[in-house]
Structures are given as structure tokens and as C-alpha cells.
Chains A and B, each alone.
Chain A
């Protein structure tokens, strides 16, 4: 019954590899997000999708590519992984009810801990 789920929970990989993280929400929300939390616990938004359309794309290397096959899923694909990509990646979702930016609560997944060796 998890509201926002992410797979995998842990991901250990070598530099240069390509990997994907999947996110699914069963809340019926129409906006989904990816955040990166670094080793100092600082959280920063990477992307936001509304009804499969990209609406926020912060300064993120183009090795990171979000894909939204439907409004319940937002996957994150990372090419040519680097050591600095090691972090915890959180997916989140919110319900905009057609009007954005009214202080909607974002619901977070449990996180994916990525370690690049």
C-alpha cells in the first residue's frame, strides 16, 4: 500500500555505467519530482513532471534523463555515472488540482541510495 515507491532501494555500480531508478505513485497525483540528497543531507530538486510534461529542469547534467511513461511513473536514467553522482535520490508526488503552486504537500518515496565506485 506504499504511496510512493522507488526501486531499487540500494544501487552500487561502477563509474561509467548506465543505470535507472524507477518511481511509481498510487495516489492519483498529476505532478512528480526527483530530488537529490547529498552526503551533507542537502536536498535539491532535479526535475518535475506534470501529466507527463516536463515543467522543472534545474541545472542538472544531461547525463540525467527523466522519463514519464504515464502520470503514475517517473523514472530516472543516468548515463556514464560519475563518483559525484553518489547520493540518495528521492522521488515525490503532489496533487495540483489544475492550479500549480498553492502549497501542495509533496509525498516522498523512501529513497534510492546510489553509490558509484
Chain B
């Protein structure tokens, strides 16, 4: 069975500072990895995902995540955050051959002006 751990429930950071949101997973089979973002009172939107190939994946708004198989991690980073990045961020995994996503408990990123 899969599980996803997001150790940090809340991360406050000043505007233009770098940020890292941590995600670790466990699974006995190959997985795909995702980061979803949830802005206040909205549904989830895909930020980026890792399927195969290069272990570093990027989003269009400056976020990136690196798949580290040996550490079973998929941490999300951004070198300089904006106020508009304030949101809840969810890490998720799915197994190859299955549709369902297993989510972590989320990290609330608050960007302070």
C-alpha cells in the first residue's frame, strides 16, 4: 500500500525568499508522483508531475520538484516566492496500472509581504 508524508503542515515564508515543501512516499511498486495546488475555496490544480525520464520536473510558474528514488522523496521548491503562491500544496502518488491518487495531508504555504 502507498502512503505519502508531508512533514510540514504549515510553511510561512517571506516574499521573494526560497521555499522547499517536503514530500516522502512509500510504495512497493513503481509510482507516478504529483504536486497539486489548492487556492482558497477552489478545487485542486496540477502543478507538476513526474512520470519517467529526467528526475527534475518544472512547472510554468517557477516551481520545480526532483524525484529521488533512493530517498523516496519528491520535494517541491521555488527559488523566489510571490504573494500569489499562498495556497495549500498536496503531494500525491499513483501506482502504475491504477488510477487512484493517494494524497499527503497537505502543506499550507503562506507568503508574507
Contacts and interface: CB of A to CB of B under 8 A. Distances in A.
Given A41-B105, A41-B106, A45-B101, A101 B96 contact: yes
A110 B42 contact: yes
B100 interface: yes
B62 interface: no
A43 B43 contact: no
Interface stretch (B15-23, B73-81, B87-95): B87-95
A84 interface: no
B74 to A, nearest CB: 13
A96 B106 contact: no
A39 B43 CA distance: 15
Q: In the complex, which range does the number of interface residues on chain B fall in?
A: 20 to 34
Contacts of A45: 100-102
B99 A43 contact: no
Contacts of B44: 43, 90, 92, 108
5 closest A-B pairs (Cβ-Cβ)? A103-B32, A108-B43, A101-B97, A43-B103, A103-B51
Contact of A110 (B43, B88, B98, B100): B43
A30 B76 CA distance: 30
Interface of A: 4, 31, 33, 40-45, 48, 50, 55-56, 58, 90, 92, 94, 96, 100-111
27 contacts: A31-B99, A41-B108, A42-B106, A43-B106, A44-B103, A45-B101, A45-B102, A50-B99, A55-B99, A90-B43, A96-B99, A100-B97, A100-B98, A101-B94, A101-B96, A101-B97, A101-B99, A102-B51, A102-B96, A103-B32, A104-B99, A105-B49, A106-B46, A108-B36, A108-B44, A108-B45, A111-B41
A101 B45 contact: no
Nearest to B43: A108
